[in-house]
Amino acid sequence: MHELGIVFHIIDALEETARENDLTSIERVTIQLGEVSTVIADYLTDCWNWAVKNKPLLEDCKMEVEPIPAVTHCEACGRDYGTVAHGRICPHCGSERTYLLTGSEILIKEIAAC
């Protein structure tokens, strides 16, 4: 379960942000999670809820997860399409000359603090 490791990285980033900005409490963090990132949102949230219990800065902090759709671009025809629905082969022209544009990211989008 790599979700716990990701949670620890998020906590480290939040603690660093808090130090840099003299924050004493963070109420909410919004995470953007790519559709094909291999991270399971429910596992991430469960790990988050467990990990923040012993962090005074984050003990009441809620994590919100926003999905980022997986979108693939075809170099042959120049069109974009939904990765999950169609995979690696372009549904428009049948080419395999494709690459993922979005959907594998894990990003901290927003931090709400007091």
pLDDT of the chain, 114 residues: tens digit per residue: 589 999 999 999 999 999 999 999 999 999 999 999 999 999 999 999 999 999 999 999 999 999 999 999 999 999 999 999 999 999 999 999 999 999 999 999 999 997
Whether residue 25 lies inside any domain: the answer is: yes
Q: Rounded to two decimals, what is the model's pTM?
A: 0.87
The helix/strand/coil state of 85 is helix
Whether residue 96 lies inside any domain: the answer is: no
- Look at residues 105, 109, 113, 100 and name the one whose alpha carbon lies nearest to residue 39: 105
Residue span of the structural domain in which 19 resides: 3-69+104-113
- Look at residues 21, 43, 18, 20 and name the one whose alpha carbon lies nearest to residue 31: 43
What domain count does the chain have? 1
